[in-house]
Structure 1
Amino acid sequence: MNIEELIDLMNSRRRMQLTPLKEKILRSAWKGHTYTDMADKFYYHESYLKTLATEIWNDLSIISGQVITKNNLRLKFDSEESEILTLDNNRLIDFKATDENDIFEFPGSPIAIDCRFYVERPPLEELAYYEIRKSGSVTCIHAPLKMGKSSLLIRILNQAEQVNYLTVSIDLKTIDNVLFQDLDKFLRWFCVNVTRQLKLPNRIDEYWDDLLGSKVNCTQYFQEYILPSIHRPVVLAFNEFNKIFNQNLILHEFSSLLRFWHEQSKELRVWKKLRLIIVNSIKNFVPLDPNQSPFNVGLPLEILPFTVEQIQDLANRYELDWIGERGKNNAQILLEVVNGHPYLVRLAFYYLLTNQISLDELETLSGSVLYVYQDYLKALLFILQRNPLLLDPLREILLGRKPLDIDSAIAYQLESLGLIEFRENRATISCRLYQYYFEQKLTSDHLKVDKLN
C-alpha cells in the first residue's frame, strides 16, 4: 500500500477524513520527517502537530486492528511483509468499498436485510425462524412504536424464502377505512391480496356464496383453492394488526377465523401448509373470547430494548468508535436517556455523526435533544389524546417519581406504548427522556387534552 492508497482509505471513512494539515502530517511522517521538521515547514507549533498526529495514529489503529505509531507506520502499511497487507488486506479494501451513505441515512424505515445496522437480539430471531417451520404455527410479535418489528419481520420472511417457503405480507395500515365497515368486503379484499401475492388467478367469484356467509366463503377459498394450488408451505404475515383493534366487528370475526384456521391444521392436511405471523404495535386491549383468539395459541415474541452491549456494538457499526470502558460509559448514558429504544438510539447516532448534538447535550437533555426526538414524542402524545383515560395515571407516575400501583388495564396499555416499565410489580416511567418531556406536557393544572400539541 502506498501513501495515496492510505490517504484514500482514511478519506473513505467520513469520520476519519483528513484535513489538509492532517494530510500533510501523514505524508511527512510517511517520508520519515520529524515533528520538528514539520513545525519548521508548516509554521505550526510542534506540540499541536503531535496532537493532530495522535488522532491520525488512533484512526489508523482502529482501521488496522493494530497499534499504529509514527515510528511503525511504514512498517505496518508499506512493508512487503506487512501483517496488515497479508492478513487484513480484504478488510481494508472493504473499508474503502463500503457505501458510507448508509451511515448518514436518516433512521425511520425498516432496516434492509443486508444492512449492517440490524442488531440481533438472541434468542429472538432463532425462535421465530424455528417456529415458522412448524405446521399450522402462529407467531405473535409485539413491541411499542418503532422498536424494530418490521425489520424483524423482513428477516423472518427472508428466512422462510431461504427454506423455499412462499411468503405473503399483509400490511393492515394500507387498507382503506371503508373496508373496516363491512366484513364481507374486508375478507374479499384480504383474499384478493393473498391471491395476487401468490401470483394465482383470481377466482373469488367462483367460491363466494352469499348464503354461506363471509367467513365460510373465505375459509373455502383458502381450503379448496389457494392452499391446494401451492405445493410448498406459505408464511402469511399481518403487519400492524393493531389497526383493527378499534374495529370491533372485524377484530372479533377475523381473529376467530385465524384461530379456526390454526385449529384446522391439527385435523386437515391442507391447512398444515399455513403458518401465521401477527405483528402488533400495541397489545390487544379488547377482550376476546380465549377460545376464539389467535393470540393465546401461538408463540409470543416481545422485542426488548437494546442492552448497553448492543448499544455499544451498534455505535461502532456507525463508526463512532465507542470502544472499551469509555464506549461502555457512553452507551450507558444513552441507555438511561432513551431506555435502549432502537429507533431513538439510531436517531441519537445520526445526530451525533452529523455533529448536530453532542453526548453532553444528550445526557443533560438540552433543548436540541428535544428537537431530535420531537416527532416521535408528538406521536406518543397523539396516542394519549386518543386514549384520555391514560392521562391521569401517567401524570401520577410522572409526579410521583417513584413506582406506583395503578389499574392493570391502564398499566397494560402504557407499558405497550413503552412509556412505563415495572419494577417489583410497580409502574415507573421508562426513561429520562419521557420523564422530562411528559412532565412538562402533562402536569399543568387543569390540562385539557386538546392542548397537548
Structure 2
Amino acid sequence: MDVKEALEFTDSLICATTGKYLNDLERQVFTGSWEGKTYEDIYPLHPQYIEKDVGYKLWKKLSNALDEKVTKKNFKGAIERAIKQQPQSTEAPIILDQKSPPQEAACNLRVFISYSAVEPGRSLAAQFYEAINAAGHTAFMATVDANNLSKSSDLPENSLDRIDIELQHCDYFLLLLSPQAAVSEMALEELRLAKELRFIHHKPIVLPIRVNCPLNSSLNHDLRGYLQGIGQLEWESPADTATLVQEVLNLLASKGDWGDGRLAKYRDIAYNISTIQNNAMFWEESISPKIASKSKIPSPLPVAEPELPSGQVRLASAFYVERVPYEAQCYKEILQPGALIRIKAPRQMGKTSLMARILYQAQEQGYRTVPLSFQHADTAVFTNLNQLLKWFCARISRKLRLPHQVDDYWSDTYGSKDNCTAYFEDCLLSGNESPLVLGLDEVDRVFQYPKIADDFFGLLRAWYEEAGYGGGDSDRWQQLRLVVVHSTEVYIPLNVNQSPFNVGLPIELPDFSPEQVQDLTERHGLNWDATQVEQLMTLVGGHPYLVRLALYHIAQQTITLEQFLETAPTEAGLYDDHLRRHLWNLQQHSELAAAFAKVVTADTPVELESVPAFKLHSMGLVQLQGNYVTPRFDLYRQYFSDRLGKF
C-alpha cells in the first residue's frame, strides 16, 4: 500500500468520526511517519512541538477512530488492517454520529448557501434552497448575520459546528454576495475556507452571485483577491431569480462550474473586471482625480457623512487617523536607498492602510510601487520555494505591466533563489532609474511553511544587505525598497543572520489613544464628553475597526451608546459577525481555544507556551506581557468566557 492511498483512507476516516479533515501539518506528519522519518526529519525547525502537539493529537484521533491504541510505531499496521477489513472498498467506512451530516445517494450533491438575511438575500436563498432540494440534491442555508440565527429554522443551536461540518462536506459553495455579505467577516472566512478545501480536496466549487452588488462595484481588498479569476453572475431584480435558479440546477446536473459552456461569457466578464481591479494600484479606486493630483494626502474634514469601515481605509477617507509619529518616520525612511520597513500589529489595526500611504508617498516621488498580499496566493504556491519565487516574480511583473519572462530566467542548473535574484537584477531593477517599492502584506502566510520561510526571508535579507555593501551590484539593489507587513512575532525560528525581522525600521502600531478616539467622535458629529469616550474604550479599547464600527452606527442613530454597551458582547450586538468569526476559528483549532479559555476565565495574567501565545496575539485576541497574556479587551472576556467553557 502506498502512502497516498493510506492518507486518503485516514483523511476520510478522521472526517467521518470528527467532522473535520486532517490539516496540513497533520498530513505532513502522517506522510513523514509512514515513510519512516523522525519528527526532526519531518519538521526540523520545531520537532518537539510536532511530537507533543500535532503528532500526539493525530495518534489520539486515529485511536478513537479505529478503536485501538495507535502510536507512531504501530499506526501503519493498524491502517492496513482496517483497510483489509473492507473487502468491497478501500474508502473509509461511514461512521455516523451527531456531528456527521446526513449521508446522501452517490448522485446527489451538497450545496452550501451563504447569504445575508437582509432582504432580498434571505428570500433568494430560500428559493435556491427549495429548488436544489426539489431537484434531489441537499442544500444548507447559512446566514452570515448572527442576530438572525433564531429566525433560521434550518440552523441547529450549535450553528458554528454545523457550518464547519457542512463546509467540509459540500460540493458547491453558493455565495449570495449582497452589499451586507460583502462586508461580513463570516462571509469572508467561509469563502477563504472554501478555497482552501478546494485545493486540498478538489471541492467545493465556488459559485458567487452578486445580489444588488454590480460586477463593476468596488469590493474590499481581501474579498477581491479571493474572488479573482472566479466567474460571477448577477441578480438585479426578482425577474432574474428563475433564470439564475435554473442556471444553478443545470450546473449541478452537469457537475460543472461557472466556466463551463454557455456560462463562459459570465466567467470572462467577471474575470476581466476582477483582473482590472486587482492590477490597478489598490488605492486608486478611492481617490478622485483632484486628490490624486496633489502631492500630499488631504487632511480629513472636521465632520463627514459616516462611513462604514470595511478593511483598508481609503486614502481620501475623512475617518483615517494619522499614526503619529510612525507615518512621518516611514515617509522619510522609504526615500533611503535599500530601505526596509517592518510594520507589525494584530489584524484590523490599520497595517494595510499605513502601507498604502507609504506606497502613495513613494509614487508621488516617481517611484514604481507594487502592493502584494500573500493571503491571496493559492495554497499551491507554497508547495515549495521554487513555486513561491516564480509566483512572486510573476505577480510583480504583472503589476508593473511587464512582459512575462519568468520562465526564461528559471533554470534547473541554478537554485530558485539564484533564478529569482537574476530576474530582479535583469528585469525589475535594470534599465529603469526609478526605485521599486514592494509592499509585502500578510507575510504571516509564509510562516505556516517553515522550510520555505527560512529561505524566502533569508533571500529578502540578502537583498537588503547587498544594497548596503557598496560597489558591485549594490547600486542596483539600492533601487529596491521593501515594506513588510505582518500580524505577530515570527513564531518560527529563523537564522538571526538571515532574518529580515531584526533589521530595517520596525513599526508596531498601537491602539488609538483616548485623544484619537475623541477626535473620531467629533468627525462623526457626536458631541461626546470624556466619560462617554471612556465607556466605549473600557469595552473595546482603542481598536481602530471596533471603535469606528461603533461610532458609525451610533452616528447613524441605529443604536444609542447605552444600548451598544449592553448588547455588544452578545450575538444581538454590533460585533456579532466579528465575534462569531473569532469563535469559529477557535473551534477549528482546539489547542488555541483551550489556551484562550484559560486566559478569559482567569482573574490574573496567564502564562502560555510561545506558539499559542503568538497565534492568539496575531488574531488580536490577547495582549502580550512578557511571558504572560491577558484578554485584549473586556468585550472578548465577556463573550468568550461563557462560550469556551467546554475547553
- With structure 2 as the length reference, what TM-score do the two structures score? 0.50
Residue 498 of structure 2, aligned match among 263, 267, 292: 292
Residue 365 of structure 2, aligned match among 159, 163, 166: 163
Once residues 625 and 499 of structure 2 are traced to their aligned partners in structure 1, the CA distance between those partners, rounded to angstroms, is 29
Once residues 622 and 645 of structure 2 are traced to their aligned partners in structure 1, the CA distance between those partners, rounded to angstroms, is 16
Task: Specify the code of the residue in structure 1 equivalent to 2:527.
Answer: D
* Cα deviation, residue 428, structure 1: 2.1
Once residues 362 and 599 of structure 2 are traced to their aligned partners in structure 1, the CA distance between those partners, rounded to angstroms, is 43
Q: Where does 1:351-366 land on structure 2 (aligned, <5 Å)?
A: 351-365=553-567
Q: Which residue of 2 aligns with 1:313?
A: 519
SS at match of 1:277: strand
Once residues 197 and 149 of structure 1 are traced to their aligned partners in structure 2, the CA distance between those partners, rounded to angstroms, is 21
Q: Gaps spanning 5+ residues in structure 2: where?
A: 1-300
* Cα deviation, residue 123, structure 1: 0.7
Report whether the alignment pairs 1:185 with 2:387: yes
SS at match of 1:231: coil
Report whether the alignment pairs 1:271 with 2:477: yes
Question: Percent identity between the aligned chains?
Answer: 37
SS at match of 1:262: helix
Once residues 523 and 627 of structure 2 are traced to their aligned partners in structure 1, the CA distance between those partners, rounded to angstroms, is 36
Report whether the alignment pairs 1:303 with 2:505: no
Report whether the alignment pairs 1:406 with 2:608: yes
Once residues 121 and 160 of structure 1 are traced to their aligned partners in structure 2, the CA distance between those partners, rounded to angstroms, is 17
CA gap of 1:144–1:366, structure 2 versus 1, over 3 A, is closer
* Cα deviation, residue 221, structure 1: 0.8
Q: Is the 8 A contact 1:180 1:186 kept in 2?
A: yes
* Cα deviation, residue 246, structure 1: 1.1
Q: Which residue of 2 aligns with 1:377?
A: 579
Q: Is the 8 A contact 1:103 1:350 kept in 2?
A: no
* Cα deviation, residue 421, structure 1: 2.2
**How many residues are aligned here?**
343
| 1:23-69 deviation digits (Å, cap 9, x = unpaired) | xxxxxxxxxxxxxxxxxxxxxxxxxxxxxxxxxxxxxxxxxxxxxxx
CA gap of 1:394–1:169, structure 2 versus 1, over 3 A, is same
Q: Which residue of 1 aligns with 2:432?
A: 230
Q: Which residue of 1 aligns with 2:133?
A: none
Once residues 104 and 319 of structure 1 are traced to their aligned partners in structure 2, the CA distance between those partners, rounded to angstroms, is 9
Once residues 422 and 112 of structure 1 are traced to their aligned partners in structure 2, the CA distance between those partners, rounded to angstroms, is 30
Q: Is the 8 A contact 1:403 1:428 kept in 2?
A: yes
CA gap of 1:242–1:425, structure 2 versus 1, over 3 A, is closer
Report whether the alignment pairs 1:346 with 2:544: no
Q: Is the 8 A contact 2:337 2:467 kept in 1?
A: yes
Question: What is the RMSD of the two structures over their aligned residues, measured on CA atoms?
Answer: 2.3
Q: Is the 8 A contact 2:488 2:614 kept in 1?
A: no
| 1:365-384 deviation digits (Å, cap 9, x = unpaired) | 45667531122222222443
| 1:158-215 deviation digits (Å, cap 9, x = unpaired) | 1111222111111112212112113223212211221222233332233221110211
SS at match of 2:478: helix
Q: Is the 8 A contact 2:373 2:441 kept in 1?
A: yes
* Cα deviation, residue 424, structure 1: 8.1
| 1:224-272 deviation digits (Å, cap 9, x = unpaired) | 2320122111111111111222122332221111111111112321100
Q: Where does 1:45-60 land on structure 2 (aligned, <5 Å)?
A: none
Task: Specify the code of the residue in structure 2 equivalent to 1:162.
Answer: E
CA gap of 1:428–1:185, structure 2 versus 1, over 3 A, is closer
Q: Is the 8 A contact 1:290 1:296 kept in 2?
A: yes
Task: Specify the code of the residue in structure 2 equivalent to 1:305.
Answer: D
SS at match of 1:112: coil
| 1:391-418 deviation digits (Å, cap 9, x = unpaired) | 3332222222222333344433333333
Q: Gaps spanning 5+ residues in structure 1: where?
A: 1-97, 448-453
Name whichever of 139-148 and 174-183 sits farther off.
Answer: 174-183
Report whether the alignment pairs 1:138 with 2:344: no
Q: Where does 1:191-270 land on structure 2 (aligned, <5 Å)?
A: 191-267=393-469, 268-270=474-476
* Cα deviation, residue 219, structure 1: 0.3
* Cα deviation, residue 114, structure 1: 1.2
Q: Where does 1:8-87 land on structure 2 (aligned, <5 Å)?
A: none
Of the two, which has the highest radius of gyration? 1
CA gap of 1:180–1:423, structure 2 versus 1, over 3 A, is closer
Report whether the alignment pairs 1:150 with 2:352: yes
Once residues 431 and 572 of structure 2 are traced to their aligned partners in structure 1, the CA distance between those partners, rounded to angstroms, is 53
CA gap of 1:177–1:426, structure 2 versus 1, over 3 A, is closer
Report whether the alignment pairs 1:126 with 2:328: yes
SS at match of 1:400: coil
Q: Is the 8 A contact 1:406 1:427 kept in 2?
A: yes
Q: Which residue of 2 aligns with 1:281?
A: 487
Once residues 272 and 422 of structure 1 are traced to their aligned partners in structure 2, the CA distance between those partners, rounded to angstroms, is 36
* Cα deviation, residue 340, structure 1: 0.9
Higher relative contact order (CA 8 A, sep 6+): 1
CA gap of 1:427–1:282, structure 2 versus 1, over 3 A, is closer
Once residues 227 and 141 of structure 1 are traced to their aligned partners in structure 2, the CA distance between those partners, rounded to angstroms, is 24
CA gap of 1:421–1:126, structure 2 versus 1, over 3 A, is same
CA gap of 1:228–1:422, structure 2 versus 1, over 3 A, is closer
Q: Is the 8 A contact 2:564 2:574 kept in 1?
A: no
Once residues 436 and 160 of structure 1 are traced to their aligned partners in structure 2, the CA distance between those partners, rounded to angstroms, is 43
SS at match of 1:250: helix
SS at match of 1:140: strand
- With structure 1 as the length reference, what TM-score do the two structures score? 0.71
Once residues 262 and 114 of structure 1 are traced to their aligned partners in structure 2, the CA distance between those partners, rounded to angstroms, is 32
